[in-house]
A and B are shown apart, each in its own frame.
Chain A
């Protein structure tokens, strides 16, 4: 069983709308959680990183939250744009620097 589960697998929204992507993990002991954006045909690019003590972190229209007690994270995208169409990958790292990748959420933003 994957130690990092993401939902939904795919999502279609209209341009300008908001959306929230979920990441649940069982990785332990937890070090940090990172969200990556992967455009089609490209490698992943880091959006945010959160450590144990951080609850919320923003990067422009992207806001990530972390609840280390329930081992859940979310990525909220505000006022979506066509360029937000991509896969979003949650990556959790443990104290041994082992990184576990979620399978990603495929977001499609339609005009």
Chain B
């Protein structure tokens, strides 16, 4: 069965370190997204990609980067981790550009703690 997987599930890192969160999907979806989820806030878009070599900034992109070298993977990198980036991170993918109608398939999340 097709799936979207995130790794690791939990990560603790120190302030200032570079961290990469992995996202891998086997749906063959062109569109992939990274969100962060914090208590009291809705999911907020960090970066997204509509295809290989395409990347775009979301509303909370500062301090994060992504790259898309193939259809299956969209790794999220925190260049220099800060305590404000402690959060739960969700990766998602969707079938078409009309993401609203077709919806997203979400991964199970990565809980990142920056100490």
Residues of B within 8 A of A46 (CB): 103-104
Q: A18-58: contact bitstring with B at CB < 8 Å (1 yes, 0 no)?
A: 00000000000001101000000111111001010000000
**B53: Cβ under 8 A from any A Cβ:** no
Q: Quick check: A43 and B107 within 8 Å, CB to CB? A: yes
Q: Which listed residue, B42, B97, B103, touches A101 by the CB 8 Å rule?
A: B42
Q: Is the CB of A42 within 8 A of B109?
A: yes
With a 10 A CB-CB cut-off, give which of B92, B98, B103, B106 has the most chain A CB atoms.
Answer: B103
Q: Given A2-B42, A100-B42, A101-B43, check contact A43 B103 (CB 8 Å).
A: no
Q: Across the A-B interface, how many residue pairs have beta carbons closer than 8 Å?
A: 52
Secondary structure call for the A interface? strand
Chain B contact residues: over half helix, strand or loop, or mixed? loop
Q: Which of B41, B100, B107, B109 has the most CB of A within 10 A?
A: B100
Chain A interface residue count, Cβ-Cβ cutoff 8 angstroms: 22
- Contact of B40 with A97 in the complex, beta carbons under 8 Å: no
Q: How far is B91's CA from A66's CA once the two chains are assembled, in angstroms?
A: 28
B contact set with A: CB distance below 8 Å = 35, 40-45, 90, 92, 97-101, 103-104, 106-109
Taking Cβ atoms with an 8 Å cutoff, the residues of A that contact B are: 2, 4, 31-32, 34, 41-46, 49, 51, 89, 93, 97, 99-104
